[in-house]
Amino acid sequence: MMNILKRKKLITVRRCLHIFTAIAVVLSLLLCLPAAQVYADSESKTPAFTEEEQNYISSQGTLKVGFVQDRIPVSFPDDDGNADGISRYIFDRISEISGLKFEYVALPTGNVTYDYLQSEGFDLVTSVEYNEENKKARGILISKPYLSSRKVVVAKGNLEFSTDKHFTVAVSTGSQTLKKVLANMFPNFELKDYPSISDCFDAVYSGEADLMIQNQYVVEYWMAKPKYEKLKVIPVVGLDDQLCFSAVVELDGKGGMSQEDGQILIDILDKTIDCLSEDEIGSYIIQGVMENQYNYTFSDFLNKYRYAVAILFISLLIIIVLVILLTRQRIHYAESKAEAKAKGRFLSTMSHEIRTPLNGLIGLNYLMTQRLDNKDKMQEYLRQSSITANYLLSLVNDILDSSKLEAQKLDLIIRPVDLELVTETVTSIERTAMSDKHLNYSVTGELPYRYILGDEIRIQQVLLNLLDNARKFTSENGSITLDMKQDLTDGGKVLTTITVTDTGKGMSEEFQKNVFDLFAQELETVSKGNQGTGLGLPISRRLARLMGGDLICESKKGVGSKFTFTFIAEQTDPIVRTVNADASENHERPRILVAEDNELNGEIILELLQNDGFEADIAVDGKQAFEMFRDSQTGTYGVILMDLLMPEMDGFETTKAIRALNRDDAKTVRIFACTANSLSEERERAFECGMNDFISKPVNIEELLKKLYI
């Protein structure tokens, strides 16, 4: 943030510039869009509450908290009248750490008395100044300071400030404790009340008052107003501004919480405040200052550039530009605020997570060039390369999924689902790896409503993640159980509960608090070779919640873990399974047409298919693929692997053209979309144009070969 004194010098120079330079300054200011929120990465400590304090938290209802309205950006109401500002951010964090619940209500402008707080049932007040006056005040108990800054003097540019001189000082009526502090510190100052901070600024600007003294963050907000550019800011040594919370307690037999309860509440707040790091408080200050900067108004513009608007043509042009820029500013701000978290959270971690497997692949590639004549070494290097490449692919997929979920851009593909088939599929995928570890795997429970409408791929993704984790962290001869049950909700929908329980290593209580955080991995398990991206569980929980359910973890170190996955869906009619008996029993291999415009990809897939006994032809674009199918004899091709992005005709156009042909196999030939673009919109479009399945690149060869027989 630009130092206020430096900014004053810049403004003085600008007044001497040509009128068009002045206009450019305005436009440059308007182009500065609001910055995204700043979030501290530092972890808060856990407060050590006494049993009495814990009982108070668990038994306490919602506390009524009064917030000051006239302290932008520290404390003020937003457009809907809700509390906003630095104090609100910090108090929300305190609520999250402590478990206390708060309701925020705006305090009236002007001097707020104890009688008013007591009669209106307030339990706490924010933005109370931490000073001797308030420490000694009857009827309130104050906490430790949660926000510290300086108090500064605002005065005309030619005023020489001195504590020995006589000055008229403007004080807002909502700052009566400040008035008492100033009266004690500067007895030769004349203190004059004004209704609001804005009125105090106007009094100093007009000369009605010599100066005002206020919190530096509040002053910086108002000093951005062009009207006050001739005012200057003077730091005051020894006059700090420390803000705290005050609890309203009973006084002289009146209502309110008891002194004992009030002290317990203050002790809880003090311990929670101690848990907030300087970095975390700093992030809330930056967030409050950046998000609540002074908004320039048209009257501000006219006041600062009144000579420029004398030219009608330029004035009209500036008004048009202002409207356009302000519109763009609001749109951009709304979009950036929703995307800031998703984009920013990965930056520090992604570099390490992606570079590590890439470094391994590069190293293995070099070793292979040095050991071409050593077959055993080459096989080991290739095995390690395959493991590393698959890990890198899973990391990229998880990052993409996580980014879409954070930005709320991941859509579920709702189709009829056979949950029994889903559990059979995930079991078949995991069973071999579990058998290799001699794990006792069992499936229990019943699915009375096995046919639902849901996203089969995402349900399977969550279950595979849970089973894969259970297998990784369960020692040989251990047990893993997948249990299922279903109930009907009041609205007639199906609530499915799937629990994966293992007898593995379990997790520490401390790590369980962060198990669903992005990239969270317990150090002990990572050091023992259980490599993972740290994204599977947070993605699974977000998917569960996207399906109307949740993912909950229960674990005990050395005993095992239990993950409960719930989701809600509508019932649907039974799904009839169709199996090509001849192909499955006799392993008949259909002739395959590969539509792939990338020469290297085409050669690889062709050789892989031929090595497994399939006859295959390749088309280099969509048009050639259509012509080869059209000109072939009926029944020649059983499967078409269709790339979506190709020259001449893309995969969608080619599929529609093939389905439109007047021949028997045009409707029955199986067409698989084969593409690196796995967006839900592309999947929907592929199915709508007549494709039978969707295969994402890079292709899992084993899964592809299985699909070719079905």
Tell me the per-residue pLDDT of 647-700, one tens digit each, with 9 for 90 and over: 889 999 999 999 999 998 999 999 998 876 666 677 788 888 999 888 877 777
CA distance 388 to 276: 40
- Is 335 inside a domain boundary? yes
451 & 426 share domain: yes
**Domain CATH for 387:** 1.10.287
481 & 392 share domain: no
- Is 521 inside a domain boundary? yes
Q: What confidence tier does 532 reach under pLDDT thresholds 50, 70, 90?
A: low
Structural domain count, the chain: 5
357 & 459 share domain: no
With 60 as the cut, is the pLDDT of residue 34 above it?
no
Model-wide pTM > 0.75: no
54 & 140 share domain: yes
Neighbours of 52 (CB within 10 A): 11
Q: H/E element holding 244?
A: strand 231-248
Q: What percent of the chain has pLDDT over 70?
A: 77
Q: H/E element holding 593?
A: strand 592-595
Can you give the residue range of the structural domain that contains 699? Answer: 581-709
Q: What is the CA radius of gyration of the chain?
A: 34
- Is 674 inside a domain boundary? yes
- Over the stretch 452-491, which tens digit does the pLDDT of each residue have? 999 888 898 899 889 988 988 898 889 999 999 999 999 8
151 & 191 share domain: yes
The closest of 247, 280, 241 to 265, measured between CA atoms, is: 247
- Is 507 inside a domain boundary? yes
CA distance 636 to 489: 51
- Is 453 inside a domain boundary? yes
**Domain CATH for 527:** 3.30.565.10
With 50 as the cut, is the pLDDT of residue 23 above it?
no
492 & 562 share domain: yes
- Is 576 inside a domain boundary? no
425 vs 438, residue with greater confidence = 438
Residue that is written with structure tokens 């069973």 in the block: 431
Q: H/E element holding 382?
A: helix 375-406
Mean pLDDT within 702-707: 77
What is residue 623's predicted lDDT score, i.e. its pLDDT?
92
Q: Is the preceding peptide bond at 574 cis, omega within 30 degrees of 0?
A: no
210 & 226 share domain: yes
From 406, 426, 443, the end of a domain falls on: 406
- For 232, residues 6+ apart whose C-beta sits below 8 A from its C-beta are 4, 5, 8, 154, 155, 156, 157, 159
**Domain CATH for 646:** 3.40.50.2300
244 & 167 share domain: yes
Give how far the C-alpha of residue 611 lies from the chain's centroid of Cα atoms, to the nearest Å.
46
- Is 653 inside a domain boundary? yes
Token pair in block for residue 558? 């050395």
Given a contact cutoff of 8 angstroms between Cβ atoms, the answer to whether 407 and 336 are in contact is no
602 & 646 share domain: yes
Q: What confidence tier does 585 reach under pLDDT thresholds 50, 70, 90?
A: very low
From 506, 537, 571, the end of a domain falls on: 571
CA distance 707 to 417: 18
Per this entry, what is the length of the chain? 710
Mean pLDDT within 187-201: 90
323 & 264 share domain: no
**Domain CATH for 90:** 3.40.190.10
What value does the mean pLDDT of the chain take? 79
27 & 50 share domain: no
Neighbours of 238 (CB within 10 A): 8
With 70 as the cut, is the pLDDT of residue 336 above it?
no
From 510, 536, 571, the end of a domain falls on: 571
Phi then psi for 410, rounded to 5 degrees?
Answer: -95, 120
Q: H/E element holding 349?
A: helix 347-370
Residue that is written with structure tokens 């993912």 in the block: 551
206 & 124 share domain: yes
Given a contact cutoff of 8 angstroms between Cβ atoms, the answer to whether 639 and 668 are in contact is no
CA distance 645 to 586: 35
- Is 214 inside a domain boundary? yes
Mean pLDDT within 94-104: 93
The closest of 253, 325, 269, 266 to 90, measured between CA atoms, is: 269
Give how far the C-alpha of residue 620 lies from the chain's centroid of Cα atoms, to the nearest Å.
42
Given a contact cutoff of 8 angstroms between Cβ atoms, the answer to whether 371 and 507 are in contact is no
Alpha-carbon torsion (50, 52, 57, 58), positive or negative: positive
Mean pLDDT within 147-170: 88
- For 268, residues 6+ apart whose C-beta sits below 8 A from its C-beta are 47, 49, 53, 56, 57, 98, 100
